[in-house]
Amino acid sequence: MAIAGIILVAKWIAKIKQRSDVSCRLWQGAREQRCVSTENLPEETYGHINSAFCDGMATTVTTAHNFIWRHLYASMQTAQTPMSKLRFVTPDKESSMSTLWQEEDFKQICSRESLTEKAAEIEKTIVVKENERARYDFDPTMFYENRFWNRRPDGIVTNKYHRTLYILEFNWASYRNKDFLRVKEDEANEQHRSIIDALRAAAPEWTFEQINFVAGRRGAVVEDDFYNKLEKLNVQAGKKDKILLEHVQRICEAHDTVMQSYY
């Protein structure tokens, strides 16, 4: 049933008239443990429980995401062409922008002060979420600055010889929409828009680009899109098939883990 997208979430049970409340039971349990309000709970849908936004599944989903992404990132790093000048900066874990800009290589791209100035204006155009409201109300200026420097791309790859920096992001779509690639690409680009735009403004002599790896339900990967991105990141042609196979296998394993955790 899980493979078909039919699992016993509250929304589906309500659809067959066996339940009236579609609120997320996992989110409710997590809130009750913290002794906080259980009002206005989100709907318990297949997509919701596969998301880190679900209080009850956040740890499991984040672990699954890292299980998939860290392996792909390491695979691309070890499969570089002999002449590649790319540097995979974050091989073990994602790093915040603040941590990255403590390195001399990044300070040479642009100063922290310059990047802070450019980022502040861009961050102001991004909606303040409800869970950020208290920090914003306390000090709006510091809020925008801190939000930018705490942003954590999944991966960073640089080529200092060509003055190029790639922001890498892995997104996992839980719905069956045939346009999942376009939708998740748009979401990922919006997620790191402030980073890309601020860097372009602070260091116009560099090239900044975001590369998103997107997986759909049941391990679906758009093959041409995946291979094109491997090529852009200087992955050897003879190793692309193996990387794709292992990537899809990891996605399926991670999905099974998430579903087992839900039940």
- Which tens digit of pLDDT belongs to each residue from 190-232? 999 999 999 999 999 999 999 999 987 666 888 999 999 999 9
Residue 52 lies in a domain: no
Cβ neighbours around 212 below 10 Å, total:
21
Residue 247 lies in a domain: no
> Angle 140-149/112-123 helices, nearest 10 degrees?
110
Residue 122 lies in a domain: yes
How many whole angstroms separate alpha carbon 253 and alpha carbon 243? 15
36 pLDDT above the threshold of 90: no
Residue 55 lies in a domain: no
Residue 127 lies in a domain: yes
Which of the listed ranges 15-24, 31-40, 181-190 does the model predict with the highest average pLDDT? 181-190
97: exposed, middle or buried (Cβ count in 10 Å: 0-12, 13-18, 19+): buried
How many whole angstroms separate alpha carbon 238 and alpha carbon 117? 44
> How many domains does the chain fold into?
1
Q: What percent of the chain has pLDDT over 70?
A: 80
Mean pLDDT of 53-82: 87
Comparing 50-54, 98-102, 230-234, the range with the smallest average pLDDT is: 50-54
CA atoms within 13 A on the CB side of 127: 5
Secondary element (H or E) of residue 73: helix 58-78
- pLDDT in the model for residue 2: 46
Residue 12 lies in a domain: no
Locate 227 and state its tokens. 């291979």
Mean pLDDT of 243-250: 95
- pLDDT in the model for residue 208: 98
pTM above 0.75, yes or no: yes
Residue 198 lies in a domain: yes
Residue 194 lies in a domain: yes
Structural domain boundaries enclosing 119? 81-235
Comparing 9-23, 30-44, 143-157, 181-195, the range with the smallest average pLDDT is: 9-23
User: pLDDT digit string (tens) for 118-172?
Assistant: 999 999 999 998 889 999 999 999 999 999 999 999 999 999 999 999 999 998 8
Secondary element (H or E) of residue 213: strand 207-215
Q: Is the dihedral of CA 54, 56, 61, 63 positive or negative?
A: positive
1 pLDDT above the threshold of 50: no
